[in-house]
């Protein structure tokens, strides 16, 4: 989620129409934005896909379309500035695109919006500046021609400083340098004009070309590791700023002109649109709805339409994305839900069905069901139970309490008993749950095993009582089982048994060893069992 | 502090029943005579336990020990006196007196009153006290027909009975089972998938770009041991790779860049049940079907009242030809009703693997509008590589933790996995 704070009056000025708070919130909701209005502030929650709406200008443009104030595509004229940027060897961030916006009025609203949109673009499609980074300069302080290249060192005054610093000093001492030093190593991409460095992407601009309250013309550089995204970000910035003020001028970057704001065309079958949406729209409805979302549409022969996609839309990968916008234009609130006729037979999975039967049996024996986390730690899963074993390990656990997956359920039963010592006894609890074991032969190198574990604890808890329950469970499930003596380090010697079905061990039971009771600070005897259920 | 119960007070005055009994026996008496002694049942029991009497051939005799104590104050009688005066005595005797319900602890006045009432009703000590009244119908009384001559003590139905706890399903499980039942009723079949997944099934097969923020260490648990799994068949891999890089035959532009198979091998703790849907689609292809799963997923959150690192999702997919977005909304409305919410509203949404996408909101009686139904139609970039060529697939993945909390009336999400037996025992069944 991207959270944006915009100014209500600014938004309404850009739209050019007064709207009630209710209407604003409702309209935003229908164009993918969840909004809350607090006096003059609108807090917007956006999905990360519509990066063109990461500024108030983009939101206003979209709202004007949806409300029918200004529909169809917005054309952005681009004039050649005659400025040239020469790209030399630039391997660190191989792609660069630049644009110029002239005759701007640097109002507080624009400054705020410009800072916000840069931050949001960096965070989202810019992947925290790794994929794309933006620099904005005062164009009049730049002395062309420009050069973009990798160097191994350089000295310049970075933004916010008065002294020259070399690259190493910037990366170690400048706050932005410290934040983003991990994105550059050994070679450093720099943009030069005739007088020296203007920008060190993705870290910092130069102090010399910084934007001030007197700035009339903006120069924007966008660099990155993915050409398409670099261009998209420049397009969004140029289009959105010019919604408010200014004229867009292009820069010749090596042999390419940027920005290129011509719409991209996509052809779609009209039939395909309504067969996906099921709303019952004809061609005219479709055209009208797409124009509300700021596309242009040309009717073609053979039941097709040609849709022009605005240059600021970075989220259109496939015609299905345009089909969604037909529904958005129509209004999700107007679509009547309907159920299809897909005749199918409902069924629970065998494992869940079986688990459910076991659950009901255990409840019949008076056990309270508990539910615990799959995640645990080795201390609980092994050490406190006096057993050794292997389990998976999480690379980035959010807490050392939960850095592996349980391999069995009894430890959690013990944990629950130990947090209920003040509760009435007898305590009889069970859990049915998945445990995760290592298994080199599987696709995921692990396997999950569904298990049942139960414990009884009170002054006179005894093995006979539990054995009766185990046998009742097993025979209710129709198992032909054998019970044999067994040694398990969690249980008292010679007070433990294993349960075998067709000669294979499916589980064990016994009286928990006093040492283990001590580990869990338990003072009453505990009888437990654990079996596989699959 | 302790005080005497009514019984305790009586025995302080008249002596313990076993003491009265040996006085009554003097030397020896027939069992028949002894059984007519007013508190015979209690008295004989304790006298025997203390080894004051010997019963042989239906004759009850005093033992040497019995003869010895007959004229002395016993420790227990002294203890009664001491408690009456000072509210306490040595621990052993207190335990003994408590077990005989002759004394009780003075706690809050309210609490102390109630148990004493039921003690009066159920206490064995009291049983034979009221002459001619019987508290319990016995097989002997029935067989001999003697019940006709007896008066039965009135049972005070308003008196509190001791609390017992049934074996019960865990409340969250009850909630999940109810939803499952509704979905099965709607014709959904349950699907399963592993908790530890390859990034391939958790992300790549869903057309989530490899550099997507949802794959960062802040949003996804990666495994250290084992760190990498196997990729499924090469044919599928080739299609997924081609789709990511340039759209393959799906008419998509793809994400661009190079798709890295090593990245796809990385094992993760499943972050959404959509991974299960991807596996299921690869198996079922174009066969019309409805599937669901309600299962555990993981995310690197730090536990507090609002966050857990494990969460449950209710995932559903509907596969069929001629399915439309309107149908998807139809299912969402149906599911909202299944969880008890009548009012629904829809907002356009975004998920990397669905288009059109929608976020369904339901109106909860206390929480207001809450967003619980993220859904969409799976993108062609997801479907084609998995072999779904002719069908549309409607899909949703509902976070049900919040709904469960609302249903169970808990405000702390940790309660869904509560370890508190007190709460688990007392919480009513989920409606």
Instruction: Kindly state whether residues A310 and A381 are assigned to the same domain.
Output: no
Q: What is the Cα–Cα distance from A201 to B339, expressed in whole angstroms? A: 51
B249 interfacial to chain A (CB closer than 8 Å): no
How many angstroms separate the CA atoms of B318 and B322, rounded? 11
Q: How far apart are CA A296 and CA A291, in angstroms?
A: 6
What b/e readout covers A155-177, taking b as 16+ CB neighbours within 10 angstroms? ebbbbebeeebebeebbeebebb
Q: Can you give B127-185 as a three-state secondary structure string?
A: HCCCCCEECCCCHHHHHHCHHHHCEECCCCCCCCCCCCCCCCCCHHHHHHHHHHHHHHH
The pair of three-digit structure tokens given for residue B345, joined into one six-digit string: 């509203």
**Which residues, at least 6 apart from A246, have a Cβ–Cβ distance to it below 8 Å?**
A101, A102, A103, A104, A218
Instruction: Please give the order of strands across the beta sheet that includes A2-7.
Output: A2-7, A41-46, A33-38
- Cβ-defined contact of B167 to A371 (cutoff 8 Å): no
CA-to-CA distance for B44 and B205, rounded, in angstroms?
80
What total of structural domains would you count in chain A? 4
Per residue in A214-246, pLDDT tens?
999 999 999 999 999 999 999 999 999 999 999
The answer to whether residues A224 and A141 touch, using CB atoms and an 8 Å cutoff, is no
Residue A414: φ, ψ to 5°: -65, -40
Cα–Cα distance list, B99 to A277, B94, B105 (Å): 75, 8, 12
* pLDDT for the residue B109: 47
Same domain for A58 and A84, yes or no, is no
At residue B119 the predicted structure's pLDDT band, cuts being 50, 70 and 90, is: low
User: Do A508 and A375 lie in a common domain?
Assistant: yes
**Partners of A528 in the β-ladder:** A455, A510
Q: Which residue has the higher pLDDT, B326 or B152?
A: B326
Kind plus residue range of the DSSP H or E element containing A292? helix A283-292
Tokens at residue A258, please? 């940027």
Asked if residue A396 and residue A293 are part of one domain, the reply reads no
Q: What percent of chain A has pLDDT over 90?
A: 97
**Domain(s) of CATH 3.30.930.10: residues in chain B:** 171-426
**CATH classification of the domain holding A88:** 3.50.40.10
Task: Name the phi and psi angles at A333, rounded to 5.
Answer: -70, -15
Contact B10, B80 (CB under 8 A): no
Q: Which domain holds residue A169?
A: 78-258
Closest-CA residue to B404 (of B360, B367, B349): B367
| Residue B360 sits at the chain A interface (C-beta within 8 Å) | no
- What burial class does residue B131 get, using C-beta atoms within 10 Å of its C-beta: 0-12 exposed, 13-18 middle, 19+ buried? exposed
- Which letter does DSSP use for residue A185 in this model? B
What digits encode the pLDDT tens for the residues B392-427? 999 999 999 988 998 898 999 999 999 999 999 999
* Residue that is last in its domain, among A303, A334, A365: A334
Task: Render B34-71 in DSSP notation, one character per residue.
Answer: HHTSTTHHHHHHHHHHTT-EEEETTEEEE-HHHHHHTT
Specify the CATH number for the domain of residue A17: 3.30.56.10
A37 lies in the same domain as A150: no
pLDDT digits (tens, 9 = 90+) for A14-69: 999 999 999 999 999 999 999 999 999 999 999 999 999 999 999 999 999 999 99
With respect to residue A153, please indicate whether it lies within any of the assigned structural domains.
Answer: yes
- Between CA A179 and CA A401 the distance in angstroms is 30
Using CB atoms within 10 Å of the CB of residue A401, give its burial: 0 to 12 exposed, 13 to 18 middle, 19+ buried: middle
Which pLDDT tens digit goes with each residue over B149-170? 888 888 888 888 888 899 999 9
List the single residue in A32, A337, A423 with the smallest CB-CB distance to B330. A337
| Tokens 């029943």 found at | B17
pLDDT at A175: 94
Let me know whether A414 and A505 are in one domain.
yes
User: A443 in contact with B at a CB cutoff of 8 Å?
Assistant: yes
Is residue A388 packed enough to be buried (19+ CB in 10 Å), middle (13-18) or exposed (0-12)? exposed
CA A114 and chain centroid, separation: 24
In 3D, which of B36, B30, B17 has the Cα closest to residue B57? B30
DSSP state at residue A456: E
Q: How would DSSP label each residue in A242-272?
A: HHHS-EEEEEEETTEEE---PPEEEEEEHHH
Closest partner residue to B223 (CB to CB) among A356, A394, A420 is A394
Q: Do B196 and A436 make contact, defined as CB atoms within 8 angstroms?
A: yes
Radius of gyration of chain B (CA): 36
Q: Is the pLDDT of residue A201 over 70?
A: yes
A367: which DSSP letter? Answer: P
A378 with A468, same domain: the answer is yes
Check whether residue A61 and residue A114 sit in a common domain. Answer: no
How far apart, in whole angstroms, are the C-alpha atoms of residue A298 and residue A305?
A: 6
Distances (CA, A) of B290 to A433, B85, B281: 25, 76, 11
The answer, yes or no, to whether the previous bond of B226 is cis (omega within 30 of 0) is: yes
DSSP letter for A419, please. T
Residues A296, A73: Cα–Cα separation, whole Å: 5
CA-based nearest residue in chain A for residue B378? A320
- Chain B segment 254-313 residues within 8 A of A by beta carbon are 254-257, 267, 269, 288-290, 296, 298, 300-303, 308-310
The minimum CA-CA distance between A396 and chain B, rounded to whole Å, is 6
List, for residues A295-350, the tens digit of each pLDDT value: 999 999 999 999 999 999 999 999 999 999 999 999 999 999 999 987 889 999 99
Max avg pLDDT among A183-187, A387-391, B149-153, B301-305 = A387-391
Prediction pTM value: 0.83
| Residue A237 shares a structural domain with residue A181 | yes
A contact residues 446-485, partner B, Cβ 8 Å cutoff: 446-448
Q: How far apart are CA B134 and CA B89, in angstroms?
A: 35
On chain A, the residues whose CB falls within 8 A of the CB of B381 are 317-318
The verdict on A130 and A253 lying in the same domain is: yes
* Chain B contact for A399 (CB, 8 A cutoff): yes
Which helix or strand (DSSP H or E) is residue A508 part of? strand A504-512
Instruction: Indicate if A426 and A494 belong to the same structural domain.
Output: yes
pLDDT grade for B117, boundaries at 50, 70 and 90: low
Residue A164 near residue A156 (C-beta atoms within 8 A): yes
If contacts are CB pairs under 8 Å, which of residues 58-117 in chain A contact chain B? none
**pLDDT band at residue B250, thresholds of 50, 70 and 90?**
very high
| Res. B386 pLDDT band, cuts 50 70 90 | very high
Q: Enumerate residues 262 to 291 of chain A having a beta carbon within 8 A of any beta carbon in chain B.
A: 275-279
In this predicted structure, what is the pLDDT of residue B401?
93
H or E stretch at B292: strand B289-298
**Residues from chain A contacting residue B167 (CB–CB below 8 Å):** 362-369, 428
CATH 3.30.930.10 for domain B171-426: yes
Q: Is residue A72 part of a domain?
A: no
pLDDT in tens, B130-151: 566 888 889 999 999 988 888 8
Q: Does a structural domain hold residue A342?
A: no
Q: What is the pLDDT of residues A113-158, one digit of tens each?
A: 999 999 999 999 999 999 999 999 999 999 999 999 999 999 999 9
Confidence band (pLDDT; 50, 70, 90) for B71?
Answer: confident
Cβ atoms of B383 and B357 closer than 8 Å:
no
In this structure, the answer to whether residues A310 and A395 fall within a common structural domain is no
The alpha carbon of A254 is separated from its chain's Cα centroid by a whole number of angstroms, namely: 36
Quick one: pLDDT at residue B111?
A: 45
Q: B108 pLDDT exceeds 80?
A: no
What's the DSSP call for residue A69? S
Contacts of A419 in chain B (CB under 8 A): 419-420
Q: Does A341 map to a domain?
A: no
Distance in angstroms (rounded) separating the CA atoms of residues B246 and A453: 50
| Contact between chains at B345 and A429 (C-beta distance less than 8 A) | no
Diameter over CA atoms, chain A: 94
Domain assignment of residue A73, yes or no: no
């Amino acid at each position: 989620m991207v959270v944006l704070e915009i100014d209500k009056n600014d938004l309404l000025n850009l739209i050019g129409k007064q709207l009630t708070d209710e209407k604003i919130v409702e309209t935003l909701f229908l164009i993918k934005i969840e909004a809350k209005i607090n006096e003059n502030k609108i807090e917007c929650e956006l999905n990360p896909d519509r990066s063109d709406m990461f500024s108030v200008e983009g939101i206003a443009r979209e709202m004007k379309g949806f409300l029918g104030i200004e529909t169809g595509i917005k054309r952005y004229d681009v004039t050649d500035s005659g400025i040239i940027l020469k790209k030399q060897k630039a391997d660190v961030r191989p792609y660069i695109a630049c644009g110029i916006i002239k005759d701007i009025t640097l109002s507080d609203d624009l400054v705020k919006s410009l800072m916000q949109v840069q931050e949001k673009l960096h965070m989202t499609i810019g992947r925290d500046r790794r994929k794309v980074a933006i620099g904005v300069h005062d164009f009049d302080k730049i002395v062309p021609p420009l050069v973009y290249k990798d160097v191994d060192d350089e000295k310049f005054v970075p933004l916010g400083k008065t002294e020259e610093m070399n690259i190493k000093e910037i990366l170690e001492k400048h706050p932005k340098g410290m934040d983003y030093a991990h994105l550059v190593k050994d070679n450093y991409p720099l943009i030069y004009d005739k007088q020296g460095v203007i920008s060190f992407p993705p870290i910092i601009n130069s102090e010399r070309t910084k934007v001030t309250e007197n700035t009339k013309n903006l120069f924007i550089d966008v660099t990155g590791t993915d050409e398409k995204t670099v261009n998209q970000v420049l397009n969004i910035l140029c289009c959105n700023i010019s919604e408010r003020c200014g004229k867009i001028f292009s820069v010749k970057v090596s042999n390419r002109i940027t920005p290129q704001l011509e719409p991209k065309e996509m052809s779609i079958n009209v039939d395909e649109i309504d067969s996906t949406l099921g709303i019952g729209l004809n061609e005219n409805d479709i055209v009208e709805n797409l124009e509300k979302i700021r596309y242009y549409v040309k009717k073609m022969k053979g039941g097709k339409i040609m849709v022009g996609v605005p240059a600021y839309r970075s989220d259109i990968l496939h015609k299905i994305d345009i089909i969604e916008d037909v529904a958005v234009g129509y209004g999700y609130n107007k679509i009547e839900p309907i159920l299809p006729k897909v005749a199918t037979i409902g069924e629970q999975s065998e494992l869940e069905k079986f688990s459910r039967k076991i659950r009901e049996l255990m409840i019949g024996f008076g056990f309270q069901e508990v539910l615990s986390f799959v995640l645990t730690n080795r201390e609980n899963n092994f050490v406190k139970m006096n057993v050794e074993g292997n389990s998976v390990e999480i690379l980035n656990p959010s807490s050392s309490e939960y850095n592996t997956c349980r391999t069995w359920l009894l430890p959690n039963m013990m944990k629950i008993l130990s947090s209920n010592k003040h509760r009435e006894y007898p305590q009889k609890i069970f859990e049915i749950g998945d445990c995760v074991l290592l298994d080199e032969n599987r696709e995921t190198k692990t396997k999950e095993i569904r298990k049942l574990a139960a414990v009884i604890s009170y002054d006179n808890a005894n093995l006979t009582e539990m054995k009766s329950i185990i046998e009742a469970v097993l025979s209710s499930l129709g198992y032909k089982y054998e019970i044999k003596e067994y040694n398990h380090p969690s249980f008292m010697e010679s007070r433990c048994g294993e349960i075998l079905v067709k000669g294979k061990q499916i589980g064990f039971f016994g009286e928990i060893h006093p040492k283990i009771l001590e580990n869990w600070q338990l003072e009453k005897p505990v009888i437990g069992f654990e079996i596989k259920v699959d | 502090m302790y005080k005497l119960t009514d019984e305790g007070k009586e025995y302080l005055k008249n002596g313990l029943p076993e003491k009265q009994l040996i006085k009554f026996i003097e030397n020896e008496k027939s069992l028949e005579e002894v059984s007519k002694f007013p508190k015979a049942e209690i008295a004989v029991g304790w006298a025997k336990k203390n080894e004051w009497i010997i019963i042989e051939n239906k004759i009850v005799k005093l033992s040497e020990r019995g003869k010895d104590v007959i004229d002395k104050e016993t420790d227990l009688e002294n203890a009664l006196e001491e408690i009456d005066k000072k509210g306490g005595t040595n621990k052993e005797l207190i335990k003994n007196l408590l077990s005989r319900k002759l004394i009780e602890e003075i706690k809050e006045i309210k609490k102390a009153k109630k148990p004493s009432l039921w003690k009066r009703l159920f206490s064995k000590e009291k049983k034979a006290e009221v002459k001619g009244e019987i508290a319990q119908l016995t097989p002997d009384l029935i067989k001999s027909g003697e019940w006709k001559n007896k008066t039965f003590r009135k049972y005070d139905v308003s008196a509190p009975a001791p609390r017992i706890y049934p074996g019960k399903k865990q409340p969250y499980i009850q909630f999940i089972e109810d939803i499952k039942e509704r979905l099965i009723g709607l014709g959904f079949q349950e699907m399963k998938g592993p908790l530890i997944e390859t990034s391939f099934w958790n992300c790549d097969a869903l057309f989530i770009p490899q550099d997507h923020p949802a794959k960062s260490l802040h949003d996804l648990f990666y495994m250290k041991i084992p760190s990498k799994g196997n990729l499924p068949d090469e044919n599928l891999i080739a299609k997924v790779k081609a789709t990511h890089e340039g759209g393959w035959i799906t008419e998509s532009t793809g994400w661009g860049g190079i798709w890295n198979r090593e990245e796809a091998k990385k094992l993760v703790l499943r972050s959404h049940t959509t991974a299960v849907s991807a596996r299921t689609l690869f198996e079922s292809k174009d066969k019309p079907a409805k599937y669901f799963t309600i299962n555990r997923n993981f995310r690197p959150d730090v536990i507090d009242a609002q966050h857990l690192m494990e969460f449950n999702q209710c995932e559903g997919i509907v596969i069929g030809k001629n399915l439309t977005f309107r149908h998807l909304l139809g299912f969402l409305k149906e599911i909202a009703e299944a969880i008890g919410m009548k009012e629904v509203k829809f907002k356009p949404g975004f998920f990397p693997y669905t288009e059109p996408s929608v976020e369904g909101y339901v109106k909860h009686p206390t929480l207001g509008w809450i967003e619980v139904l993220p859904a969409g139609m799976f993108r062609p970039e997801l479907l084609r590589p998995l072999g779904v060529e002719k069908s549309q697939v409607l899909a949703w993945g509902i976070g049900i933790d919040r709904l469960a909390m609302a249903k169970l009336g808990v405000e702390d999400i940790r309660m869904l996995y509560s370890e508190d037996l007190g709460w688990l025992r007392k919480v009513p069944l989920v409606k």
